[in-house]
């Protein structure tokens, strides 16, 4: 039996004194307080949007979601064109960004010489650092005239003309340049960095033992990538895509400058449109009536809720990949 | 260590005539480099058909590096290169016109830690088969999967849950699944890199018993840290040591019985008797 020396045993007050002296208590207080403030902030966002959008919610109910009549001077607020515009621009953006992001991520992790991996990865991430208003300017004055307009005209002529053998109504005119298609392409460039970066991290988290197992069975590199590495990281890649979708849904400035801002239900991707974030940005200053500002706040609420949900879902999926490493199981 | 000697003595499969057995593979003057560092130096060793050849030696002496050169897994390390030859049925697997994919199909591998794919048990075993034969009929594939799981002594435990994930099995079962996966493509040679290092004693015994079954069909090369395992399970043993320049060299190769009872080299005797390593 050995007893603890008396000098080691401290009274509770002495322990508290020591904790204070070494800064444990203040340190804990500061970090906990900061975290609580952040949680309160998110809650108050939702609460504020819910309360301030009450007038339109009570007056129109779900009607505002299925009506495409947006007439502020007539006090009629149907937000369907914006919902549709946001969904279409985001989906076009995602559809274009996805093959690029996957290819870049696979290149960076699997094929790129190690010396180039850092520089190329950084270049991709730098795309995310460009302010979105600069994307808007560049899109409007350089990218749309040089690339989107000719490409759109080509698609219109090839597939969007009713007299053609193949006629796809969602590629019909009129086409002026600024359009859902143009915004989608620019959104694609804007979300490529985030999807690429997360996909790269997900692929890097695939254990080397999985690669080796596949190679040892006589698989080629491309078979290993498509049959082992991508399936292993699939839920994480899905998370990256959803995170990219979340970014595209909320993107405001670049879209407002390139989408055309026409509050009619678009019938074609080449038509100009309007998005939820754009209408808030454009009309906030002139929303004099209670109902008008309430309608904009309701759109804000929908955007907020959607992005929040998508982000939670995406992070759960990304997290599931790093967690399922079989090496850590018994 | 008397236990070791007893079990070696009872291992009757290594007769005196075994030296005449066909050399399925052999390394000739083989050196392996990582950049400028030489990890394995000038190894010449035979691998006899349908025999178990054990590679033993202290940590860091290049056992695994040597093993991984037998199916060119070292190719995955960008800075790794070899000099010398590794012959498989008279063909140098490092030759210029050799397809590395074909080498790995003929020389399968089981790793230190079980590494099943997060796919079903069935798909784990079928993986390599489907790579080589994309149009295989469902019935044929079913038969190969069953044969392989039988061959890995796992069939009875998993036959009712082939659709379950391979990663949900126990560690010992996972390793036998990896063995089933490796033999499903009918390789000539099976490389095992400390296959029992991550397993409990009971699972280890099962894998060792399995090896005795497998050698009826396959030529096996196993790296092991476990002297008893080498003594019990192998027919031939190769002893490696690290030289003063840190390169691994082979200091002795012989029938396992001789290595464990009457080694020529004093260092081998000290090592197998547990005096170092």
Q: Assess A164–B contact: CB distance below 8 Å, yes or no.
A: no
Whether B2 has a pLDDT exceeding 60, the answer reads: no
Q: Assess A220–B contact: CB distance below 8 Å, yes or no.
A: yes
- Residues of chain A contacting residue B68, judged by C-beta atoms under 8 Å apart: none
Q: Evaluate the CA torsion angle A108, A109, A110, A114 in order and state its sign.
A: positive
**Whether CATH 3.60.21.10 fits B2-8+19-272:** no
Distance CA A243, CA A315 (A): 8
Phi and psi torsions of A86, nearest 5°? -60, -45
Q: Assess A162–B contact: CB distance below 8 Å, yes or no.
A: no
Which residues pair with residue B191 across a beta bridge? B109, B221
> What is the pLDDT at residue A94?
93
User: Could you report the per-residue pLDDT of A223-277, keeping only the tens digit for each?
Assistant: 999 999 999 998 889 889 988 998 899 899 999 999 999 988 888 999 999 999 9
> What is the pLDDT at residue A168?
85
- Residues of chain A contacting residue B105, judged by C-beta atoms under 8 Å apart: 217-218
User: Could you report the per-residue pLDDT of A62-121, keeping only the tens digit for each?
Assistant: 888 888 888 888 888 888 999 999 999 999 999 999 999 999 999 999 888 888 888 988
Phi and psi torsions of A283, nearest 5°? -100, -5
CA distance A317 to chain B (A): 16
Pairwise CB contact (< 8 Å): B101 & A218: yes
Length of chain A: 330
ipTM, 2 dp: 0.87
Q: What is the DSSP letter of A6?
A: T
Which of A207, A216, A231 comes nearest B108 by C-beta? A216
Which of B76, B128, B171 comes nearest A217 by C-beta? B128
Pick from A241, A261, A268, A256: nearest CA to A139 = A256
Whether B14 has a pLDDT exceeding 60, the answer reads: no
Distance CA B164, CA A119 (A): 42
Domain ranges in chain B are: 2-8+19-272
Task: Name the CATH topology of A62-328.
Answer: MetI-like fold (1.10.3720)
CA distance B197 to chain A (A): 13
Domain ranges in chain A are: 15-51, 62-328
> What is the pLDDT at residue A13?
76
- Residues of chain A contacting residue B132, judged by C-beta atoms under 8 Å apart: 218
- Residues of chain B contacting residue A214, judged by C-beta atoms under 8 Å apart: 117, 127
Distance CA A64, CA A66 (A): 6
- Residues of chain A contacting residue B182, judged by C-beta atoms under 8 Å apart: 216-217
User: Could you report the per-residue pLDDT of B96-113, keeping only the tens digit for each?
Assistant: 888 999 999 999 999 999
Which residues pair with residue A98 across a beta bridge? none
CA distance A154 to chain B (A): 40
* Spatial contact of A269 and A24, defined as CB atoms under 8 Å apart: no
Helix, coil or strand: residue A71: strand
Phi and psi torsions of B237, nearest 5°? -135, 140
Over chain B, what HEC string results?
CHHHHHHHHCCCCCCHHHHHCCEEEEEEEEEEEECCEEEEEEEEEEEECCCEEEEECCCCCCHHHHHHHCCCHHHHCCCEEEEEEEEECCEECCCCCCCHHHHHHHEEEECCCCCCCCCEHHHHHHHHHHHHCCCCCHHHHHHHHHHHHHHCCCHHHHCCCCCCEHHHCCHHHHHHHHHHHHHCCCCCEEEEECCCCCCCHHHHHHHHHHHHHHCCCCEEEEECCCHHHHHHHCCEEEEEEECCCCCEEEEEEEEHHHHHHCCCCHHHHHHHCCCCC
Q: Assess A320–B contact: CB distance below 8 Å, yes or no.
A: no
Pick from B188, B253, B247, B264: nearest CA to B56 = B253
């Amino acid at each position: 039996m050995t007893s603890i020396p008396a000098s080691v045993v401290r009274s509770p007050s002495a322990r508290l004194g020591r904790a204070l002296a070494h800064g444990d208590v203040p340190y804990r207080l500061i970090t906990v307080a900061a975290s609580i403030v952040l949680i309160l902030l998110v809650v108050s966002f939702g609460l504020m949007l819910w309360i301030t959008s009450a007038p339109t919610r009570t007056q129109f109910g779900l009607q505002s979601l299925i009506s495409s009549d947006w007439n502020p001077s007539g006090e009629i607020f149907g937000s369907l064109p914006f919902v549709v515009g946001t969904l279409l621009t985001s989906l076009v953006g995602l559809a274009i960004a996805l093959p690029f992001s996957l290819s870049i991520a696979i290149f960076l992790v699997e094929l790129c010489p190690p010396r180039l991996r850092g520089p190329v990865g950084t270049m991709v991430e730098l795309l995310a650092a460009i302010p979105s208003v600069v994307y808007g300017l560049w899109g409007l004055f350089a990218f749309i005239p040089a690339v989107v307009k000719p490409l759109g005209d080509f698609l219109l002529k090839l597939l969007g003309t009713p007299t053609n053998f193949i006629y796809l109504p969602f590629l019909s005119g009129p086409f002026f340049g600024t359009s859902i298609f143009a915004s989608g392409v620019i959104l694609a460039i804007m979300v490529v960095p985030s999807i690429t970066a997360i996909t790269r991290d997900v692929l890097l988290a695939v254990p080397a033992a999985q690669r080796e197992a596949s190679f040892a069975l006589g698989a080629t590199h491309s078979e290993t990538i498509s049959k082992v590495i991508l399936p292993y990281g699939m839920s994480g890649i899905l998370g990256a895509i959803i995170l990219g979708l979340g970014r595209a849904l909320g993107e405001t400035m670049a879209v407002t400058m390139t989408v055309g801002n026409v509050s009619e239900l678009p019938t074609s991707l080449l038509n100009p449109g309007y998005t939820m974030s754009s209408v808030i940005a454009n009309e906030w200053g002139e929303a004099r009536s209670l109902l008008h500002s309430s309608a904009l706040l309701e759109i804000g609420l929908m955007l907020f809720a959607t992005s929040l949900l998508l982000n939670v879902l995406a992070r759960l999926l990304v997290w599931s990949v790093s967690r399922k490493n079989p090496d850590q199981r018994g | 260590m008397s236990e070791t000697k007893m079990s070696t003595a009872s291992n009757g499969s290594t007769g005196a005539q075994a030296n005449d057995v066909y050399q399925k593979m052999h390394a000739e003057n083989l050196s392996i480099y990582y950049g400028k560092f030489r990890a394995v130096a000038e190894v010449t060793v035979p691998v006899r058909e349908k025999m178990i050849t054990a590679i033993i030696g202290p940590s860091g002496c290049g056992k695994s590096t040597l093993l991984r050169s037998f199916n060119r897994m070292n190719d995955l390390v960008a800075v790794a290169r070899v000099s010398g030859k590794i012959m498989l049925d008279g063909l140098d697997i490092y030759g210029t016109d050799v397809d590395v994919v074909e080498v790995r199909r003929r020389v399968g591998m089981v790793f230190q830690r079980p590494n099943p794919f997060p796919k079903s048990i069935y798909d784990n075993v079928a993986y390599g088969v489907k790579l080589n034969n994309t149009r295989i009929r469902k019935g044929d594939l079913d038969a190969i999967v069953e044969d392989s799981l039988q061959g890995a002594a796992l069939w009875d435990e998993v036959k009712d849950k082939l659709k379950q994930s391979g990663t949900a099995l126990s560690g010992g079962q996972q390793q036998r699944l990896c063995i089933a996966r490796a033999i499903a493509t009918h390789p000539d040679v099976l490389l095992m890199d400390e296959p029992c290092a991550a397993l409990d004693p009971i699972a280890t015994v099962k894998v060792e018993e399995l090896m005795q079954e497998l050698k009826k069909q396959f030529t096996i090369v196993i790296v092991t840290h476990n002297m008893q395992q080498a003594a019990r399970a192998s027919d031939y043993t190769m002893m490696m040591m690290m030289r003063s320049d840190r390169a691994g060299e082979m200091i002795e190769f012989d029938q396992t019985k001789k290595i464990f009872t009457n080694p020529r080299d004093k260092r081998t005797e000290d090592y197998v008797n547990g005096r170092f390593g």
